[in-house]
Each structure stands twice: as C-alpha cells, then as structure tokens.
Structure 1
Amino acid sequence: MPNWGEWVPLDGAPVTDGRDPARDAARAELLNPAYHRHDPSLLQRIKDWIFEQIDRAFGTIGLHGGGMTATVLFLLVAALLAAALWWRFGLPRRTVRTAATLFDSAGPATAADHRAAAAAHAAAGAWDDAVREQLRALIRGLEERTLLDVRPGRTADEAAAEAGRVLPEHADALRRAARTFDDVVYGEHAADQAAYHSLLDLDRAVGTARPTLTGAAG
C-alpha cells in the first residue's frame, strides 16, 4: 500500500516527490558560512539587546513618569553594562613592578669601564644604554672611593638613598637619577641626550664632592 506523499503510476511502482531533498538542500545552503560572514558578534548582539531594553524602559518612563523609576533604571543599565564589560574583558589586572638590580651578573667592572661603555652608547645614539651605564659608573665610583659598600643585588633606588646619606647635597639629584634608571629599565620612558648629560654632570660633581662621614652607609 503506498504511503502519503507517494503516487502510484499505472505500472504500480511508487514514486516519491522531490520536496524533502529540495528543502534539505535549501537548509544546507543557508547554513553556508559565507552568508553569515557579516553577522554581528555575540558581544554586539548583547549590546544591541541592552540598548533595546533601555529604549523600551525610557519609553515606559515617558508614558508614566517617575523620578525614582528613572534612578532605578539608570542603576540597572549601569549594572548591565558593567556585567557585559566584565564578561568581555575580565577583571582589571595590576602590574606589580619589582625593583631591578643596578648591576647585572656579567661580572665586576670598574667605574672607568662603565664610563667608557656609556660614552660609546652615547656616541651611537643609544641613550637608554648610555643612561644605564652612566649611573652604574657613578655608583661604582663611590664604591671605589669606599663611600659605599660593594653590595651585589643593590637596586638603583637603594644605591641612590645610601649615596644621598653620604653626599646629602646631591641627594635629590641622586634620587632623580635612580628614577630615570628605573624608567628606562622598565620601558616607561625612553632616555634622551639630555638625560644622559644630566647623569654625566652628576657623576662629575659627585666624583669631587666631600662626603659627610657621619651619614656614611654601613
């Protein structure tokens, strides 16, 4: 006995019409990614939905009024936007900056070695490297004069603070020099010719300064 959707010709063989295969082919064609290339992203659809709800809510307020309703709506919208941003970007991350040591682990070098390296970098226009080497020359010079103890792992800030106690008239300039060193090391600010020459002048001034022995670092 033939089923519904079939018809029986005179010879008795059932023939099925082509409607179902055509429908499946049309569905498969519509699922082709090429037709959805310009569809909005999930985040865009969420934003569109939020703004649609806002429009509806403000339309309701326009019809019925109410200052308290507007305030509640504003807080609700802010919460929805915050939730959407949190879902998209996550919680803000804080970058914890650890102090960099003044001298690397390449081995000890004299103040003259660091000054020569700084001058070579300056001649090449590599101001970041010139600034780093010039501050190392300054601190190593104080160590060679026994005004500072030789202390591996000392940071620029620590060296500047200790040197400032020995040479209080240069304490502020030493702190600024250490800050410049840190900014260059962490890439927050690029050094320039003026920064290098400022450190060079400070090195020369510190090299001839008389220490305050009562504040010498131990």
Structure 2
Amino acid sequence: MGGAAAVGTLVRADGDIPVDVSRDPAREAARRELTKPMYHENDPNPLQQAVNEFWDWVEELFGAASSATPGGAVGLVVIVLVVLALVGALWWRLGTPQHIPTSTSPLFDDSPRSAAEHRAAAEAHAAAGRWNEAVQERMRAVVRALEERTLLDLRPGRTADEAAAEGGRSLPAHSAQLRAAAREFDDVTYGGRAADQHAYHQLRCLDLELERAKPHLVDTYPGAAE
C-alpha cells in the first residue's frame, strides 16, 4: 500500500481526480485491507507466538534484574548459581520435605515380649544392617523396660508418643530424649523415612542410660518403685 497516501486520500479508478476521505473511514479501509490472508501468510502460529512472547518477557526480566545487580549479567548468574547450590545442599541434608507423622497405632503387637527379647531382636537387626527394624525393636525395648520397672503401667494400646510423654514424667531428665526417640520411631514406622546406624546408636545409648536412671517419684503411676 502507499503508506501515508492511503490514510487520508483514495485515488479514483480512472486515475484522474483524487477523492478525499476523512480519517476514520480511511483507517477502517486500511484495517480491512490488512486483514486479508495475503498479509499473514508468514505469521507464526498461535503456539509459536505465545512462546515468542514468553521469551521476550524472560529477556526483559533478565535485563531488568541484571541492570540492578552488581556486576551486571555476570553477577546475576553468579547469584543464581549460589542460590541453586544452597537449595541443593539443603535438599541433600534434609531430604524431601514430608509431613511429620504422629503414631496412632499401638507400639506393641499381640505377642508380648520382654525388654531383653526386644533388645536381642534389635541387635540382630543392627548386625544385619536393618536399621529401620533395629530402631523399632529398640524403642519397644525402652518402653517395655519402663513397664517392667513399673514406671509405666501395662497398657497394650499405648503408642510411642504416649509412652514418651508418660515416661518423661517419671524420668524428667530424659524426657527430651524420649520424645526424640518416639519421633524417630514414628518417622521410620509411619513416615517412610529410613533410619541409619547413628539413629540406632542414639536409641541404644538412651536405653542403657534409662536402665541406670533413678525415677522422679512425684506423679508416678500407681505401683511405681518407692
């Protein structure tokens, strides 16, 4: 088309006398002309157009960020790499974020065993590198030992969390360790997390400490040692 000439003037078909047209009809005529398919044969498809607009937006965003960052684009790249490294380190250290489980099932099954039997089972699992089972059996040994010392009443349906809370009242110096042991048991049993040698070693040390610990006799359960 003839650029500016097409905006305000149309030429008669015989080429003699130009016809003046007002601005609005001229604009409408130009718009109709530009909607013809011949002008859009090489336009990108809608998907390609959306992709192009997205990358234009990314380029503008990157340009704005680099202009506000010390060192320009290089400084921005360094900052992004440092952030990614920190996120990766946290992910590796903490693992996949998971909901903290709370035990709702009984700690013991229907075949009661003594603390010594649970300890023996825990040691056998540990020797074979089965740390999940070793942690579970050692926690059961801890609770069964407290029951055998009458520091906990015999209650078949007790959960690990309940045992830790009740045992902490009789042995307040170890209440935090008991709660941590219950959380470890819950993570392994209900939370899908894997135990390791360190977790089992801590629980084993707690079990040995509790054997030598003297109970706090205030608010203990009926039948507690006098």
TM-score by length of 2: 0.53
State the alpha-carbon separation in 2 of the partners of residues 213 and 135 from structure 1: 23
Contact conserved, 2:136 with 2:185, CA < 8 A, in 1?
yes
Q: Any gaps of 5 or more consecutive residues in structure 1?
A: 1-46, 56-94
Correspondence 1:115-130 to 2 at 5 A? 115-130=119-134
Deviating 4+ runs (over 6 angstroms): 47-55
Contact conserved, 2:160 with 2:182, CA < 8 A, in 1?
yes
Contact conserved, 2:102 with 2:161, CA < 8 A, in 1?
no
Contact conserved, 2:102 with 2:186, CA < 8 A, in 1?
no
Among 170, 173, 178, the residue aligned to 2:174: 170
Deviations 1:41-94 (A, max 9, x none): xxxxxx889879999xxxxxxxxxxxxxxxxxxxxxxxxxxxxxxxxxxxxxxx
State the alpha-carbon separation in 1 of the partners of residues 100 and 204 from structure 2: 31
Q: Report how far residue 187 of structure 1 moved.
A: 3.7
Partner of 1:210: 214
**1:152 paired to 2:156:** yes
Partner of 1:193: 197
Do the aligned partners of residues 135 and 102 (structure 1) sit closer, same or farther apart at CA in structure 2, a change above 3 Å counting? farther
Contact conserved, 2:126 with 2:134, CA < 8 A, in 1?
yes
C-alpha RMSD over aligned residues? 3.0
Q: Report how far residue 137 of structure 1 moved.
A: 0.2
State the alpha-carbon separation in 2 of the partners of residues 215 and 166 from structure 1: 7
State the alpha-carbon separation in 1 of the partners of residues 220 and 50 from structure 2: 65
State the alpha-carbon separation in 1 of the partners of residues 206 and 100 from structure 2: 30
Do the aligned partners of residues 198 and 102 (structure 1) sit closer, same or farther apart at CA in structure 2, a change above 3 Å counting? farther
Correspondence 1:92-131 to 2 at 5 A? 99-131=103-135
**1:136 paired to 2:140:** yes
TM-score by length of 1: 0.55
Q: Give the residue type in structure 2 aligned to 1:117.
A: A
Identity over aligned residues, as a percent?
53
1:214 counterpart SS class: coil
State the alpha-carbon separation in 2 of the partners of residues 194 and 102 from structure 1: 25
State the alpha-carbon separation in 1 of the partners of residues 195 and 101 from structure 2: 19
Contact conserved, 2:101 with 2:191, CA < 8 A, in 1?
no
Q: Report how far residue 181 of structure 1 moved.
A: 0.4
Q: Report how far residue 217 of structure 1 moved.
A: 3.6
State the alpha-carbon separation in 1 of the partners of residues 112 and 124 from structure 2: 19
Q: Give the residue type in structure 2 aligned to 1:210.
A: K
1:213 counterpart SS class: coil
2:218 counterpart SS class: helix
State the alpha-carbon separation in 2 of the partners of residues 49 and 206 from structure 1: 70
State the alpha-carbon separation in 1 of the partners of residues 100 and 48 from structure 2: 37
Contact conserved, 1:163 with 1:174, CA < 8 A, in 2?
yes
1:211 counterpart SS class: coil
State the alpha-carbon separation in 1 of the partners of residues 49 and 167 from structure 2: 62
